[in-house]
Amino acid sequence: MDGMEQPSPMSEQQDQVQQLEEHLKQLEEQLFQAQKLSSVGALASSITHEFNNILTTVINYARMGLRHTDEATRTKSFERILAAGQRASRITTGMLAYARNSSDRQEPTDLKRLLDDVLVLVQKDLQMHRIVVDLDAPRSVWAIANGSQIQQMLMNLIVNARQAMNEHGRLKLVIRDNPGEGWAEISVGDTGCGIPAEQLPHIFDTFYTTKTADARGQGGTGLGLSLCRRIIESHQGRIRVESHVGQGTTFTLKLPRSESPAGLIDTSAA
């Protein structure tokens, strides 16, 4: 019979569902990547500033080295130029690593290192807004995690915190190993405007934003926290927020902890 060779309507539907699911997964990956790049955009002006400062240092010390022929001055000039070049290279390397499209593999990852890498990128932005950073973290804390996604999450939380504070705030970053409960924990706290109780239930919704476009047309897309929530869910972790209007907000992330992998124990000085 002819009909026997036709795929049954049921399996055809299953195929379609599978195709749509794959398509959805691809779109989600693209959304993650696009949001990652747009969060770097929030840092464009501070990073441009930083490069300008570095170039000024390089130019001034090159001039000084050319003008003064004694060895001490020349050595000092070369040392300053080298240090400035190394600072620039840390930023570009960090930026390229951050923007790179990566897998969604989860593996033992040192949260302290991830935070340090994100801080290299946001440091100037914080400094330009006169924000003091309190960092309270052991040398390393390990979680089963996707490093690139955790960095994206930290970047979103830190940029949000900075935007909530304007000038003269305090950013409090804490990393804790909590073996008793099986979590590796990170919190990002600010002394900013806080979130009114009626807004709290919505902040993790996709496209929810209270940020209106500024003079340069830079408003919020409302994607930052919704991606944070998805990332935390894919790690079977927890995200919670505590906020007091006029005092500030703290986001706490909990990720499945991991023992520090054998052979990778950090022996560098603290």
Ligand X SMILES: Nc1ncnc2c1ncn2[C@@H]1O[C@H](COP(=O)(O)OP(=O)(O)OP(=O)(O)O)[C@@H](O)[C@H]1O
Q: Name the residues that contact Mg ion, by CB under 5 A.
A: 160, 224
Report the 3 state secondary structure along 91-152: HHHHHHHHHCCCCCCCEEEEHHHHHHHHHHHHHHHHHHCCCEEEEECCCCCEEEECHHHHHH
Question: Residue 172: how many CA atoms within 13 Å on its side-chain side?
Answer: 10
Buried b (16+ CB within 10 A) or exposed e, 230-252: bbbeebebebeeebeeeebbbbb
CB of 270 to Mg ion, least distance (A): 32
User: What are the beta bridge partners of residue 172?
Assistant: 134, 189
Nearer to ligand X (CB atom), residue 141 or residue 227:
227
Provide the residue type at 145 as one letter.
Answer: A
Q: Whole-number minimum distance, CB 101 to ligand X, in Å? A: 19
Q: Pick the closest to residue 238 from 218, 225, 254 (CA basis).
A: 254
CB of 124 to Mg ion, least distance (A): 18
Among Mg ion, ligand X, none, residue 152 binds (CB under 5-8 Å by kind): none
Closer residue to Mg ion, CB minimum distance, 224 or 237? 224
Shortest separation between residue 34's beta carbon and Mg ion, angstroms = 14
Burial 160-180 (b: 16+ CB within 10 A, else e): bbbbbbeeebebbbebbbeee
Q: How far is the CB of 228 from Mg ion (least distance, A)?
A: 9
Closest to Mg ion by CB, 151 or 160: 160
Give which of Mg ion, ligand X, none residue 145 binds (C-beta under 5 to 8 Å, depending on kind).
none
| Residues forming the site for ligand X (CB under 6 A) | 156, 160-161, 164, 190, 192-193, 195, 203, 208-211, 220-226, 249
Q: In terms of CB distance, is 31 or 88 closer to Mg ion?
A: 31
Q: Of 88 and 200, which CB lies nearer to Mg ion in the complex structure?
A: 200
**Residue 23 binding result from ligand X, Mg ion, none, given CB thresholds of 5 to 8 Å by partner type:** none
